[in-house]
């Protein structure tokens, strides 16, 4: 379990990048928290710097869009999903439980 | 389906198997075309992404598998006939037959022209050690030369390809000099001051940048009696001579329209077409680097991915039913900095710095271009997040007023 930040430091519409290997992006999508691999499955770009709209995150480089609930791309140029991770809030802290390579791949 | 032909399109030929050609093939199927789909590519490779060639591919961060734009599953779904490693030689006078270099002819009810552009070369005899960087084969050859140990590299041209290639060569430990004819590289794209700031990135990695100087000759010598002449130096207009083991020529690209010379299409720095990518013939559309829709040819990755949707819609409709002038957007990665630009700037726009400093571009900056009190373009170096917001704002404004003219008050 990785401690990310305090919940109040991640208001709705915001995101934070966690420096794990590989890095993880945590989003507050209108009150619901999601975590996915931060690096776009298309090319090297940080999804935490992307455009968040509802449960969709748009990559800041080529506008590939992913559904944060499943990690699946909803449009080109991305063709592969990003891994999703479990997010918890405990005592006001946002925590992420990293998925293994297999379980996060949202088949 | 087609008003022009009076019946259904049964065969469409896409000439060009790179980004724009692949996107056109996808759009044809996505928009319901179920006839014979032939994709012709001059290169022997399946569609691959070119932007990484000057960056991660050159430095070894990405292999050829990482460049693939499609996979076997999608290729099977597209149900297209791929003719790769063969150039198109001609389009007949009615625009109904594509003739290939090997003599084959492809009868076509519709044609998508996506032949792209080819790297411009310097005149003079060919010398070993002189490279261009446009295709996968170019990049393979350059990468092979760069992994053989430290070299004195001269990059001719300080545009995006030149700057990215210089950055990759510097990252690989080579001694790099960039020669740029203009006083400031990229000034036409970015404006003098922001371009000057981007040019400072070269120094951050020890790359020498020589500006306002042209190349008069590439000099070579044979390394043995039977060996081909190899580059030894680059002579400049100010009489300086730069010793060189390796030269990369990055002086732009020419749209591949030579094969269309005998066709009725209008050619002038690309295939002229309307805002819907439709050429003089309603069943022939053009997309990507070779296309000049609405008089503007943009060698941008984003254009190549956005134009095919509209072009294919119009092709299948038999006339222009939709136009698109997407907000120009391009990016470049050099010296660890991500450069992003969106919008359409003009000479005379006011540049306003929003974040960072033009003096220290390696720490990043964000600038906007203003005209008559309106923001018309934005440039970011290492400021992806705020740039994204600005780009969205610009896209909304652009959609409301694609001419981009300041509103009279």
Q: Mind listing the pLDDT tens digit for each residue in B198-255? A: 999 999 999 999 999 999 999 999 878 778 899 999 999 999 999 999 999 999 999 9
Same fold, B11-118+253-317 and B121-249: yes
Yes or no: say if B362 and B376 are a contact pair by the CB < 8 Å rule: no
Å from B388 to nearest chain A CA?
6
**In chain A, positions 50-79, which contact chain B (CB-CB < 8 Å)?**
50-51, 60-63, 76-77, 79
Q: How far apart are CA B387 and CA B395, in angstroms?
A: 12
Q: Is A6 an interface residue toward B (CB < 8 Å)?
A: no
Model's pTM, two decimal places?
Answer: 0.92
Q: Is B392 an interface residue toward A (CB < 8 Å)?
A: yes
**What is the torsional sign of CA A12, A13, A18, A19?**
negative
Domain boundaries, chain B: 11-118+253-317, 121-249, 336-399
Yes or no: say if B326 and B370 are a contact pair by the CB < 8 Å rule: no
Q: How far apart are CA B18 and CA B39, in angstroms?
A: 10
Query: Among A44, A49, A79, whose Cβ lies nearest the Cβ of B385?
Result: A49
Query: Among B49, B302, B392, whose Cβ lies nearest the Cβ of A51?
Result: B392
Taking domain B336-399, whether its CATH number is 3.30.390.30 is answered by: yes
Which chain B residue lies closest to A15 (C-alpha atoms)?
B385
Residues B304-340: tens digit of each pLDDT: 999 999 999 999 999 999 998 889 999 999 999 999 9
Residues B116-149: tens digit of each pLDDT: 999 999 998 899 999 999 999 999 999 999 999 9
Distances (CA, A) of A40 to A27, A47, A48, B302: 15, 6, 10, 17
Size of interface A-B (CB pairs under 8 A): 32
Yes or no: say if B176 and B165 are a contact pair by the CB < 8 Å rule: no
Q: Is A16 an interface residue toward B (CB < 8 Å)?
A: no
* Residue percentage of chain B with pLDDT more than 70: 96
Cis ω on the peptide bond leading into residue A77 (within 30° of 0)? yes
Would you list the DSSP string of B235-254? EETTS-EEE-SEEEE---EE
Q: Taking CB atoms and an 8 Å cutoff, what residues of chain B touch A75? A: none
CB within 8 Å: B52 and A45:
no
CB within 8 Å: A50 and B49:
no
Which chain A residue lies closest to B386 (C-alpha atoms)?
A49
Q: Greater confidence, B228 or A52?
A: A52
Amino acid B235: pLDDT: 98
Query: Among A45, A61, A77, whose Cβ lies nearest the Cβ of B305?
Result: A77
Neighbour count for residue A42 (Cβ, 10 Å): 21
Q: Looking at domain B121-249, what is its CATH homologous superfamily? A: FAD/NAD(P)-binding domain (3.50.50.60)
Any idea which architecture A2-105 has in CATH? 3-layer Sandwich (2.102)
Any idea which architecture B11-118+253-317 has in CATH? 3-Layer(bba) Sandwich (3.50)
User: Whose CA is closest to A51, among B396, B7, B269?
Assistant: B396
What tokens were used for B128?
A: 């070993």
Yes or no: say if B133 and B157 are a contact pair by the CB < 8 Å rule: no
Yes or no: say if B134 and B253 are a contact pair by the CB < 8 Å rule: yes
Per the document, the length of chain A is 107
Domain boundaries, chain A: 2-105
Residues B58-113: tens digit of each pLDDT: 999 999 999 999 999 999 999 999 999 999 999 999 999 999 999 999 999 999 99
Q: Taking CB atoms and an 8 Å cutoff, what residues of chain B touch A77? A: 69, 305
């Amino acid at each position: 379990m990785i401690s990310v930040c305090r919940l109040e430091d991640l208001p709705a519409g915001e995101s934070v990048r966690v420096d794990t290997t590989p890095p993880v992006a945590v989003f507050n999508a209108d009150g619901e928290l999601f975590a996915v691999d931060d690096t776009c499955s298309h090319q090297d770009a940080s999804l935490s710097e992307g455009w968040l709209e509802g449960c969709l995150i748009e990559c800041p480089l080529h506008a590939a869009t992913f559904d944060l609930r499943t990690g699946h791309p909803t449009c080109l140029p991305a063709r592969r999903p990003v891994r999703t991770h479990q997010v918890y809030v405990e005592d006001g802290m946002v925590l992420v439980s990293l998925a293994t390579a297999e379980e996060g791949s949202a088949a | 389906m087609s008003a022009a032909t009076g019946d259904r399109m049964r065969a469409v030929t896409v000439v060009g198997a790179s980004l724009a050609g692949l996107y056109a093939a996808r759009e044809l199927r996505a928009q319901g075309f179920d006839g014979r789909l032939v994709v012709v590519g001059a290169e022997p490779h399946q569609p691959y992404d070119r932007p990484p060639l000057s960056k991660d591919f050159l430095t070894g961060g990405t292999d050829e598998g990482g460049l693939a734009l499609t996979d076997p599953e999608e290729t099977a779904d597209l149900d297209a006939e791929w003719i790769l490693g063969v150039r198109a030689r001609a389009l007949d006078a009615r625009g109904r037959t594509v003739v290939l270099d090997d003599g084959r002819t492809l009868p076509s009810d519709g044609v998508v022209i996506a032949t792209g552009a080819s790297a411009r070369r310097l005149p003079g005899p060919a010398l070993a050690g002189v490279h261009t960087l446009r295709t996968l084969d170019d990049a393979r050859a350059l990468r092979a030369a760069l992994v053989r140990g430290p070299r004195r590299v001269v990059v001719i041209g300080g545009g995006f390809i030149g700057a990215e290639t210089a950055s990759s060569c510097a990252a690989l430990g080579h001694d790099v000099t960039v020669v740029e004819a203009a006083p400031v590289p990229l000034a036409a794209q970015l404006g003098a001051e922001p371009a000057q700031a981007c040019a400072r990135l070269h120094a951050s990695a020890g790359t020498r940048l020589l500006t306002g100087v042209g190349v008069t000759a590439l000099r070579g010598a044979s390394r043995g009696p039977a060996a081909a002449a190899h580059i030894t130096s680059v002579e400049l207009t100010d009489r300086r001579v730069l010793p060189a083991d390796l030269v990369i020529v990055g002086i732009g690209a020419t749209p591949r329209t030579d094969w269309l010379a005998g066709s009725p299409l209008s050619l002038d720095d690309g295939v002229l077409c309307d805002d819907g990518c439709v050429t003089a013939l309603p069943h022939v559309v053009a997309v990507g680097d070779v296309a000049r829709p609405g008089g503007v040819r943009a060698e941008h990755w984003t254009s190549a991915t956005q134009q095919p949707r509209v072009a294919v819609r119009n092709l299948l409709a038999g006339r222009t039913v939709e136009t698109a002038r997407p907000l120009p957007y391009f990016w470049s990665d050099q010296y660890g900095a991500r450069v992003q630009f969106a919008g359409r700037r003009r000479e005379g726009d006011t540049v306003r710095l929003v974040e960072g400093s033009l003096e220290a571009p390696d720490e990043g900056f964000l600038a906007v271009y203003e005209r008559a009190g309106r923001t018309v373009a934005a440039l970011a170096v290492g400021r992806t997040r705020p740039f994204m917001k600005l780009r969205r704002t610009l896209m909304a404004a652009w959609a409301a007023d694609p001419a981009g003219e300041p509103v009279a008050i």
